[in-house]
Amino acid sequence: MTLRADLAALLAQAGIIDVDLDAAVADEHVRSAVYQRVIPVIAASVSRGDDREVAAAILRDPESLTAKTAVVALVDEIAEKTADPAAFRRWADEVLPEEELRQAGVDHEFIRRRIRDWEFALSVKDGRVPDPAELAEVTDWMQRELAASSSSLPLLGLLAESGRTRKIRNIAESRARSLRPRTS
């Protein structure tokens, strides 16, 4: 498919009609904005059946950074709507096969790290507390996300103690303090 056809199909699937297709084809910044509008609409769909075609169309974008950014946004949107780490892993393996990522010329290692981060985050969402070695394998970005959003006092304690950076440790400690019951 051509870039124009890919963009037209994505816009049609998302029901977005107010985009200048010529401008999007000509300018990666406009395309990036298109992807950022399309992805939340597609991720909100109950059906995940078209996700592979969506990802493939994005990966065909001639600008690898634009494609990577959009694929990461898709990963983030789907992960935030998923509760089961195993289901998320199956989705990622099906929609973003390693070979297709490599062939697309995008930073496939970055995307794989983001997927691993989300698997980790989903695995601790139900209260499981990882060991420090598991936490050490998660990127600074995910450690900050967890420190800022988790309501698990044991996880926040681990992040406050073993977070990779001072900022992560401080955010986790502050969040834990705000969640602890106040005693008189």
pLDDT beneath 70: ranges in the chain: 183-184
DSSP string, 112-147: HHHHHHHHHHHHHTTSPPPPHHHHHTS-HHHHHHHH
Let me know: does 100 contact 59? Beta carbons within 8 Å. Answer: yes
Per-residue pLDDT tens digits for 145-177 = 999 999 999 999 999 999 999 999 999 999 999
Report the pLDDT value the prediction gives residue 184, as an integer from 0 to 100: 59
pLDDT at 58 (0 to 100):
96
Q: What is the pLDDT of residue 11?
A: 96
